[in-house]
Amino acid sequence: MRWGRMYHKTILDNGMRIISEEIEHVRSISIGIWVECGSRYEDEQTNGSAHFIEHMLFKGTERRTAFDIASTIDSVGGVMNAFTSKELTAFYIKIPDYHLALAIDLLADIFNHSKFDEDEITKEKSVVLQEISMLEDSPDDYIHDFFEANFWKHNHLGMQVLGTRERVEGFSRDSLLKFFRSRYRGRNVVLTAAGHLKHEMLVELVEKVFGDMGEDTEKVTFILPTAVSTSITVLEKDLEQVHMMIGTLAPSSVSENRHASFLMNAVLGGSMSSRLFQEIREKRGLAYAIHSYLTPYIDTGMLAVYVGTGKGEVREVLGLIFDELMRMAKQPLTAKELHGAKELIKGNFLLSMESTDNRMTRLAKNEICYGRHVPPEDVVTKIDAVAHEHIQELAQEMFNPSTISIAAIGPVSEKDLTLHILNG
């Protein structure tokens, strides 16, 4: 497969980056506008602004109503959506290739000409408050935010993407526009596209509608976050299950250890054949849902285990999880485990390359994280090069009992989570 040979990059005078990958054998194009802005760029006064602005860009422009925005994409069989994370906000469209100009025009319209109408802001406050309530009413979802708020305590990474009720209720048109104009400009913006297109035509269309967007006006320097050592946090609620998170610091998205961490996570709890899933669910029947996952950021990262279990099983499940963490640090992976993890990661990665959505996303993340194109074959080579001693050394660094944090929601107390293994 001719990977990477159809990659192109252009930088406009205002600093906006346009990156594309031409894929001749498909009839779709996936296009995304990626802004280096999320809850990590906020403070206590502005927390939730990026997410709220994401909503507002769909609520009407000088040329289109909210219904017009939705119907424009529906009428051509396309898909349009957006998301906000701690480090990024993205707006993306997937359309048939012959509607490229329409998609660019629509993205530019919502991005450059949204009205931020006062009445719409008032209505959207109610929507976001309902979104916050829905999250808090779903303990298997809320536990992740609850855990990170304590894991990254005293750092902007601990702020919730949705913001707080108090902050959302206090948003004004002026405060939202001030935040928007400070970040959603120039070098903070990357437009990526993958599919049946020509880069020259893409640049011509984009420059015509984004060329006068202006340069960015605010530079942000992050304070390197550190996790709270051995934090145990509990939200007692009358639930049928106890929802728990156990987490530790992990490699960043640019760390040389990131490929080893992918493989470690796959073996630990990243698949149905993983150690945690097999030991706790399949062998002992102590939980329906258990998995581990990585959350890498530009300068740090987190590996966490989630499990939902009964109140009477909390101590046993927690002990088994710690046993597996310590085993990862004390014993090397078997040759079979390492080979299986490599095939799993490579297989998932290669299958994702068949989607224009995933390739468009990958273009953006490579640019934002590394400032360059990373050929897929380089990723495969890096994964193949990881040896079992690399994973064991990383596990020894990460799974130190004195740096592991726990959070739980449900019919449980802090005493239930305070085990001797936390002290080594």
In a domain, 301, yes or no: yes
Do 205 and 238 belong together in one domain? Answer: no
Q: In this predicted structure, what is the pLDDT of residue 402?
A: 77
In a domain, 398, yes or no: yes
Do 168 and 315 belong together in one domain? Answer: no
Residue 216 — pLDDT band, cuts 50, 70, 90?
low
Do 169 and 246 belong together in one domain? Answer: no
In a domain, 227, yes or no: no
In a domain, 220, yes or no: no
Do 79 and 204 belong together in one domain? Answer: yes
Please name the amino acid found at residue 46.
T
Question: Is 54 among the catalytic positions?
Answer: yes
Do 112 and 163 belong together in one domain? Answer: yes
The domain in which residue 248 lies consists of: 232-423
Give the separation between CA 383 and CA 363, rounded to whole angstroms.
19
Q: What percent of the chain has pLDDT over 70?
A: 95
In a domain, 317, yes or no: yes
In a domain, 270, yes or no: yes
Long-range pairs for 277-284: beta carbons < 8 A, 24 or more residues apart: 279/320, 279/324, 280/307, 280/317, 280/320, 280/321, 284/320
Do 268 and 353 belong together in one domain? Answer: yes
Residue 400 — pLDDT band, cuts 50, 70, 90?
confident
In a domain, 1, yes or no: no
147-205 pLDDT, tens digit each = 999 999 888 999 999 999 999 999 999 999 999 999 999 999 999 999 999 999 999 99
Please give the tally of structural domains in the chain: 2
366-376 pLDDT, tens digit each = 999 999 999 99
Give the separation between CA 363 and CA 381, rounded to whole angstroms.
19
- Which residue in 36, 42, 54, 324 is the catalytic one? 54
In a domain, 293, yes or no: yes
Residue 421 — pLDDT band, cuts 50, 70, 90?
very low
Do 326 and 376 belong together in one domain? Answer: yes
Give the separation between CA 378 and CA 215, rounded to whole angstroms.
33
Q: Residue 75 is part of a domain; what is its CATH number? A: 3.30.830.10
Do 198 and 248 belong together in one domain? Answer: no
- pLDDT, the chain, mean: 93
Do 302 and 201 belong together in one domain? Answer: no
